[in-house]
Amino acid sequence: MNKPTIQSLILAAGLTGAGLVQAANMAFLMDQAMSRFNEQDAQFFNEASAKALAAKDGTPIRWSNPASGAFGTLTPYPDPEKNPACREIHIENVAENVKSAGYYRFCKRSDGSWQPVMPSQNKR
């Protein structure tokens, strides 16, 4: 099974509507567990991402793929810059023994899709 690219994960998640230009800005994810996802991992992660972006602040959204052993948690928080159109998500993933975690900021575009805005500077 082919592994999805970071760009395809971001686009499949509906996190951006602007295509590869925005996805290229997510190059910091290349050394993350996400880079080890198979297609099914990506599907589970994308579903959890959509739930996390719609969830109440502080509500952990867990996902797992028993077939690959990959898993993670996404926890939404208010935007540290207090922009009501944005959210911060703490993302923790494990895939193929690669662990990664960080805070990431997403802002809602006028078309309703979510755009990633580089890693958050917030360290909570």
Q: How would you write 107-123 as a 3-class SS string?
A: EECCCCCEEEEEECCCC
pLDDT (mean) for 115-119: 76
pLDDT band at 117 (very low <50, low <70, confident <90, very high): confident
Q: How many CB atoms lie within 10 A of CB 17?
A: 14
- C-alpha radius of gyration, the chain, whole number: 13
Q: Is pLDDT above 60 for 16?
A: no
The C-alpha atoms of residue 26 and residue 37 are separated, in whole angstroms, by 16
pLDDT band at 69 (very low <50, low <70, confident <90, very high): very high
Least confidently predicted of 12-16, 45-49, 63-67, 93-97: 12-16
Q: Is pLDDT above 50 for 104?
A: yes
pTM: 0.75
